[in-house]
Amino acid sequence: MTVIEQTAGVEKREKSRAWGKLKKSRSALAGLAIILFFTLLAVAAPILPIPDPVATSWSAIRKAPSAAHWLGTDDLGRDILSRMIWGAQASLMAGIFSVAIAIIIGVPFGILAGYFGGWVDLVISRITEALLAMPFLIMAIALAAFLGPSLTNAMIAIGLSAMPIFVRLTRGQVLAVKQEDYVEGARSVGLGHLDIMVRYILPNVTAPIIVQATLTVATAIIAEASLSFLGLGQQPPAASWGSMLNVAKNFLSQAPWMAMWPGAAIFLVVIGFNLLGDGLRDALDPREH
């Protein structure tokens, strides 16, 4: 038996290979850079030489960007740059933690529903549909109101509201993957259900989940903004980009910079997550493109 055909590719470990592939994608690196930039700013907020984000100044109300206030001031005379940096914490956390909650709860339920089918699927899918029937934001508001106003509760509320999307997405993917011969092959070598779900199903359904996650991070950041506006998210005077944006909309004609900076920041972070998500999806796939 001398039929060893040549195959391209050198042996590499999984992690370094995925990272190597990610490094090659310029857009993914740009996304990663944007996210890292804002994350560093958020983490470094306490040690940066910036004014107190909640210090008001009656002499500097709604001032345009200047040497003293690089990004201008808001309606209470607070420094927008400082509030932007401190607000990054709240916004990024809201985005990432709420999506993490949604994935941690949603994906396992989706796998259970898709893998077992039958009444398990029936119960999970009907509940998911009931939850999906409620508009995302309304549900988040209701949950946040029920849990009480705080950033943590806002994140839980957003996470729970985003969860059904992940249940449904995962279930659909599992239904497709379940048909593959390798799943039947796993049964035929005597693997149990848990092994099959963790080692055969989950790794093969991650790509669309990652993409959905990056999109949901963006939605979650905006949802946190809406909850803050209603007083259900970040509590004043602490800042989040969303709450800044919501205040700013009252002064759009007098002080457009108040809306511009948080809007641009949300836009950038959302783009950053989307770019990174696309890159990750390709990098995590062992097949070449």
Of the pair 200, 273, the CB lying nearest another protein is at: 200
Residues that bind another protein (CB under 8 A): 1-5, 7-9, 11-14, 180-182, 184-192, 195, 199-200, 203-204, 286-288
Chain-centre distance for alpha carbon 36 = 14
Whole-angstrom Cα distance, residue 206 to residue 67?
Answer: 47
User: Considering the complex, what minimum distance in angstroms separates the CB of residue 175 from another protein?
Assistant: 15
Nearest to 42 by CA among 2, 86, 80: 86
User: Considering the complex, what minimum distance in angstroms separates the CB of residue 214 from another protein?
Assistant: 20
User: Considering the complex, what minimum distance in angstroms separates the CB of residue 15 from another protein?
Assistant: 13
Of the pair 83, 178, the CB lying nearest another protein is at: 178
Q: Left, alpha or beta for 54 (phi > 0: left; psi -120 to 50: alpha)?
A: alpha
Nearest to 45 by CA among 90, 75, 76, 95: 90
Of the pair 16, 59, the CB lying nearest another protein is at: 16
The phi, psi pair for 57, rounded to 5°, reads -145, 115
Instruction: For tokens 């990432």, name the residue.
Output: 96
User: Considering the complex, what minimum distance in angstroms separates the CB of residue 13 from another protein?
Assistant: 8
User: Considering the complex, what minimum distance in angstroms separates the CB of residue 23 from another protein?
Assistant: 18
Nearest to 91 by CA among 274, 242, 289: 242
User: Considering the complex, what minimum distance in angstroms separates the CB of residue 30 from another protein?
Assistant: 22
What the block records as the tokens of 200 is: 């055969």
Of the pair 62, 187, the CB lying nearest another protein is at: 187
User: Considering the complex, what minimum distance in angstroms separates the CB of residue 186 from another protein?
Assistant: 8
Of the pair 38, 200, the CB lying nearest another protein is at: 200
Of the pair 138, 198, the CB lying nearest another protein is at: 198
User: Considering the complex, what minimum distance in angstroms separates the CB of residue 193 from another protein?
Assistant: 10
Amino acid identity of residue 212, one-letter, is Q
* Burial profile 147-166: b = 16 or more Cβ within 10 angstroms, e = fewer: eebebebbbbbbbbbbbbbb
Of the pair 14, 253, the CB lying nearest another protein is at: 14
Of the pair 75, 195, the CB lying nearest another protein is at: 195
Nearest to 164 by CA among 139, 191, 198: 139
